Amino acid sequence: MVMNTLILDGYSLTIPTLVNAASQSHITVELTDSARAAMQKSRDIVDDWVKTREVIYGITTGFGEFSNIVIPNEDIETLQENLILSHSAGIGSYLDRNIVRAMMILRINALAKGCSGIRISTVETLIDMLKYDLIPAVPSQGSVGSSGDLAPLSHIALALIGKGTILLADGSTSSSGEMMKKHGIEPVKLQAKEGLALINGTQMMTALGAFAVHRAKQLNDMADIAGAMSIDALRGTDTAFDERIHRMRGFTGQMITASRLRSLLQGSSIRASHKEGDGMVQDAYSLRCMPQVHGATRDAIAYVEHIISIELNSANDNPLIFPEDKAHLEGGNFHGQPIALALDFLAIACAELGNISERRTERMVNGALSNGLPRFLATNGGVQSGMMIAQYTAAALVSENKVLCHPAVVDSIPTSANQEDHNSMGSISARKIHTILDHLEHIIAIEFLCAIRGIEYHHPLKTSDILNEIHEFIRSQIPETTEDVIIHEEIKCMSSIVSSGDILTITKNLFHISA
């Protein structure tokens, strides 16, 4: 989808809009008139407070443990710049450019609410950086998820003032000052409150969370498709997906998954042969309970989507400014606990998709469980190993995901001389969910590779029309063979297919199944 102008007002940003915009370069962003008016009102009040020497945290005082130190007017600009310099303490590999774009969009959107007292011109410089694809290099580690994602956001602000680094599309870096000069952008000279307004927020964990929700929804749908193919490969039954069963329990995700599986398997001659044949009454849980397991993950994703959708449009600065009352209120909206809890939950839910997928893979390669398929799906077992070690790989990834599911949010460490004595660690929750999703892509890819081989052994019986089209699509990129091949290459190719979402387009077009 092509992104035109992204309109931000602080209230109406959605996950699909954010993901679509942040996945593109040279984004045109505009603030609404109402956002500009609100921003100007709060800025005017900040200027008045500075003139009257009112003591306000982060405006005329130091930060954190230094909040009891009042700053002279002549040092206020230095205070804001020093904040950015000293807080740019991140380490580790750089965040992907699309994540940093999302962080910039989210920060602009939060500032557009008019509760932060920042100048419109400062926000417009961020907008210009997006327009010219000047994406700051932001180290991925260093945030404890309270007082916001301070270190990551500081690296964005550091680029904004011309003292940071730009991450180019080819992975190289360049001075932000030089890149801004090249495009005619004047680096910002921060004034009162502006440094704090730029870095006090949850934009890193929220950006990663939005992309995680997007990926998780896609992989949940892909797991349904891979699972349906595995059912036919294992000559399973669709009785367990009968609508009446799932209506009697009532979980939305469960009913959706059962409906998808019924549609995917409709018309399969392999399934029909099983009904007439071997007398099996019910399948193993990894087949029979897909609606309950995949569906529970679907419901979990919906919950996390709800949480992230709220945070996209939240004001998470401190202090917040309320122009109508001429009030500044010190609080803790920067605390990442809601996001951290949700993303730890999402990690568990997505890891479970991998857990049950690997169990289906095991059944297809295990001659004692595969309902007639050759051991390890090898044409000439003994001389060939077939998909034996592919299952090892899936098992290794599943095991690693279990380790990654340890919740980050329960491991708070105090900071800032115990002034900040409870932190969410939400950025860690946000980073590790993407590692889990990377693993899940590979696990589902391995199940697909086994399932299409299994279905081929049932020739001349065919799977359903829709699954057959998916089968042919995969085989157009991974040719069928009766020989052992370098499985690593097949997994890489199949993982790319899984992550692309192309298979979901096929299901959406043919059966109107939600993609």
Tell me, what CATH number does 75's domain have? Answer: 1.10.275.10
Please write the tens of the pLDDT for every residue from 96-148: 999 999 999 999 999 999 999 999 999 999 999 999 999 999 999 999 998 88
Alpha-carbon span 152 to 202, nearest angstrom: 10
What's the mean pLDDT in 255-267? 96
End position of a domain, from candidates 174, 201, 228: 201
pLDDT of residue 514: 44
What's the mean pLDDT in 79-108? 97
Residues 491, 497, 498, 499: what is their CA dihedral angle, to the nearest 10 degrees? 110
End position of a domain, from candidates 132, 167, 201: 201
**Residue among 297, 393, 299 nearest 351 (CA):** 297
pLDDT of residue 157: 98
Same domain, 220 and 183: no
Alpha-carbon span 293 to 261, nearest angstrom: 13
- What stretch of H or E contains 232? helix 203-233
57 is catalytic: yes
Task: Please give, one letter per residue, the 3-state secondary structure of 26-65.
Answer: CCEEEECHHHHHHHHHHHHHHHHHHHHCCCCCCCCECCHH
**343 lies in some domain:** yes
Same domain, 242 and 192: no
Same domain, 228 and 160: no
What's the mean pLDDT in 251-268? 96
Same domain, 35 and 105: yes
**321 lies in some domain:** no
**419 lies in some domain:** no
Report the SS3 class of residue 7: strand
> In the block, which residue shows the tokens 């190993």?
385
What Cα–Cα distance (Å) separates residue 355 from each residue in 86, 91, 151, 298? 43, 32, 35, 15
Structure tokens at 427: 């950025």
Q: Is the pLDDT of residue 418 over 90?
A: no
**116 lies in some domain:** yes
Same domain, 389 and 452: yes
CA distance between the termini of the chain: 15
Least-confidence region, from 61-70, 173-182, 347-356: 61-70
**406 lies in some domain:** yes
Q: What is the Cβ-side half-sphere exposure of residue 252, based on CA atoms within 13 angstroms?
A: 6
> In the block, which residue shows the tokens 């210009």?
128
**230 lies in some domain:** yes
Same domain, 147 and 221: no
Per cent of the chain over pLDDT 90 is 88
**418 lies in some domain:** no
What Cα–Cα distance (Å) separates residue 349 from each residue in 220, 296, 436? 10, 8, 10
Report the SS3 class of residue 414: coil
Q: Is the pLDDT of residue 461 over 60?
A: yes
pLDDT of residue 2: 53
End position of a domain, from candidates 201, 223, 254: 201
Is residue 127 packed enough to be buried (19+ CB in 10 Å), middle (13-18) or exposed (0-12)? buried
Same domain, 291 and 436: yes
**139 lies in some domain:** yes
Given 3-state DSSP classes, what are the helix, strand and coil percentages for the chain, each rounded to the nearest 5? 60, 5, 35
Same domain, 343 and 454: yes
Same domain, 233 and 380: yes
**Residue among 371, 373, 368 nearest 387 (CA):** 373
Tell me, what CATH number does 476's domain have? Answer: 1.20.200.10
Number of domains in the chain: 2
What's the mean pLDDT in 268-280? 71
Q: Whole domain around residue 494: which residue ranges? A: 208-316+326-413+424-511
Q: What is the DSSP string of 443-476?
A: HHHHHHHHHHHHHHTTTTS---HHHHHHHHHHHT
Cα-flanking dihedrals φ and ψ of residue 247, to 5°? -65, -30
Burial readout 454-474 (b: 16 or more C-beta within 10 A, e: otherwise): bbeebeebbbbebbbbbbeeb
Task: Please write down the long-range contacts of 15-18, taking CB distance under 8 Å and 24 or more positions apart.
Answer: 15/210, 15/213, 15/214, 15/305, 15/308, 15/309, 15/312, 16/214, 18/102, 18/105, 18/106, 18/207, 18/210, 18/312
Same domain, 72 and 216: no
pLDDT of residue 515: 37
What's the mean pLDDT in 297-305? 98
pLDDT band at 453 (very low <50, low <70, confident <90, very high): very high
Q: Is the pLDDT of residue 211 over 80?
A: yes
pLDDT of residue 148: 85
Same domain, 180 and 216: no
Alpha-carbon span 118 to 100, nearest angstrom: 20
Same domain, 280 and 155: no
Q: Is the pLDDT of residue 276 over 90?
A: no
Give me the catalytic one of 57, 132, 303, 392: 57
pLDDT band at 202 (very low <50, low <70, confident <90, very high): very high
